[in-house]
Structures are given as structure tokens and as C-alpha cells.
Amino acid sequence: MGYVRIIGRALLCTTLMFAPTIGAAGNVEDASVAPPRPADGLDAETTRNIAALDCRHVVASDVDRWLARGPAPRIILLQGSFAPVTMEPFAQFLIAMGYPAARIRNPLDGRLSEGSFGDSLPWAGALAWYYEAEGMMPMLIGHSQGGMMAIRILYELNGAFNDAIPVWNPMLGAAESRTTIRDPLTGVTRPAKGLAVGYAAAIATGKLPRILFGQWDMIARLRRIPDTVDEFTGFLIPWDPIAGTLGEPEPYVATGTASVRNVTLPSNTSHIRIPETPALAANAMTRAWIDRYSPDVAPRVPDDVPVDTANLLHAADIWYSVKEHWCKSAQQLLLARKPP
């Protein structure tokens, strides 16, 4: 056990040296720095066609012609504990598939991947700020330790760790002196606590690292998903020594109303190489497979694909969910801002 502790401490030190943070600590009085409202001034044709989309069956042409021209929710990509392995390659995959890069980049420094150590409270406050400023709740996608942080943020939103959530301004990297926002869809003032994310995902997230890093308050919570997310997908690797998965992985379950799916990846999936997905968007055959993918009926993977398809399943499944919630969020925002 001493050997395991040494490894855990070494990983923690490495991560704390290199992992990016959400911003400098501080406090400001108001949200004086805000991005433009993305739905304002959208042309009638784009608005009409986005409103007409079937969000469960968004095809590539829908992304290129309509969704990419309208509002998009922010995506927070949370990397694992091994600092050299980031979620930047996965961000590049999403961008290549058509997602707006500006909605993935950190507004302070433009990075595409976020560190997963530190406090979950500022992240919950930042989600509230983004929702108020942009009219759309961000999506959360985490790899390994990042999946734990995504789930911890969901628990932060439901009040498991703090009675109130200070709104965190990511444009300034500081907390504001308020714990409420004006709901952009209803105009009603409401607490940041209790907000729900539309989509969240955890990839290869296990309990063993929680023990190594002393994250005791997340061990019992790690596979139980609270109501502060509408749809959650957990991606599991059997016999994953890094996550500590022995045999059949323990599934994620909902504690209440959240829709929770479990996707078991091939046992030979590399825990470390999971974010390596840009080639799948660049190759015509794998890109077409991803565009046709549905969680209900996955097409057969062609035998003669000239690129590595080890990461094809989770890349396609996440892209499907991202498109669906992009579409739903855009429709919801456009409806709320429709003139009476």
C-alpha cells in the first residue's frame, strides 16, 4: 500500500504543478464584463430552421447550415490527473466536427482543456454566470479525474457541499458578491444553487484514484448522479487498472430524475489515450460513421478504415449527445427571446 501512496502523491504533485485553474481568486461587485448575447440579431431563416430541427436526429448538414450559425452552449472539458494528457485533442475533434471553438475556449487565456484539481465551487458559480450571460447552461465532459470533477460540480449545484453558490465571473477570474442570477429564459431572479446542466459525461472515472488522492467525500457519490443534470453518460472500461475497475464496471445510477446511460467501452481501450480523437474527424470513413451514429442503433465499423478506431465509440456517442443538447439549448433560447 506504501507503493500506491507514493504513486498517488507523485501524480498529485505533477498535476498541481501543471494543471490550469479556473482563474485567480478574488471578489468583484458586478458582472461588468460580459460577452455579447449570441441569439440577438439572428436572421429569420436561421431561427426558423433551428426551431424546426429534430434534436434527436441532427445530421451533418444541420450542423453546418443552421446550428453553427446560431447560439451554442459552452462546453467545459475537464482533463485527468496526469497533466501531460489533456482534453485538447478531444476539443480539436469537436471543433473539426463543427462545434464553435469560441464556445470551448477559456475566455481568460483561450485554452481548450481545464484542470480538474481544486475547488468545485468556483466551477458551479461559473456555470451560473455563463447561463445568465449566454442564455445556455454549459455542458460538462470529463476524462478520468475530470469525470470526478464533473460529477462533483453536479453535487455542488445541488447544495451537497455549500449552502449557497457565489456567482463566479470567468471573464475576470473572480467571485461576485452575489449568489443569485437573473434567469435569462424567464427573467426571474433565482439562486445559482439548484441549476441543472443539460448534458454531462464522465470517461474512465474510477474510485481507486479517489482513495489515492484522499477524495473521500466523492467515493460514495461517484456512481450516483443527482438531479442537477438532465442527461448523463458514463463511459466505463472493464479491467482498467488506472481507474481501479475490476471486471464488470460498477454502473452509474440516478438518485432521482436524471436520465443516466452507461456505455461500456472495449476492454482494450487505453485509459491514457482516450482524448486522441482528431483523426476520426479528419478521415472521411470514420467521420461518416460518427455522423450516422445513434445510441439506439450503432452502424457497423468498416473493416478497412485506415485510422485507429479504438476511440470511435465514445467519440461518436459524445458527439451525438453534444449535437442533441446544442440543438435543444438553441431552440429553448430562441423561443425565450422570440418577440411576443
The answer to whether residue 49 sits within a structural domain is no
- Could you tell me the three cell numbers for 76? 467545459
CB 320 within 8 A of CB 294: yes
The answer to whether residue 56 sits within a structural domain is no
Q: How far, in Å, are 59, 111, 120, 175, 223 from residue 26 at the CA level?
A: 43, 21, 16, 6, 33
Q: pLDDT tens track of the chain, all 340 residues?
A: 343 343 344 444 433 333 334 544 444 444 334 443 445 568 899 999 999 999 999 999 999 999 999 999 999 999 998 889 999 999 999 999 999 999 999 999 999 999 989 899 999 999 999 999 999 999 999 999 999 999 999 999 999 999 999 999 999 999 999 999 999 999 999 999 999 999 999 999 999 888 888 888 999 999 999 999 999 999 999 999 999 988 889 999 999 999 999 999 998 899 999 999 999 999 999 999 999 999 998 778 777 899 999 999 999 999 999 999 999 999 999 999 876 5
Alpha helix (H) residue ranges in 30-136: 44-51, 60-65, 88-97, 120-134
CB 318 within 8 A of CB 274: no
Q: Which DSSP string corresponds to 256-316? A: SS-EEEEEEPPTT--TTTTT--HHHHHSHHHHHHHHH--SSSPPPPPTT-SS--TTHHHHH
- Could you tell me the three cell numbers for 18? 501543471
Q: How many domains does the chain have?
A: 1
Domain that holds residue 106: 2-28+61-336
The answer to whether residue 261 sits within a structural domain is yes
The answer to whether residue 36 sits within a structural domain is no
Residue 8, amino acid = G
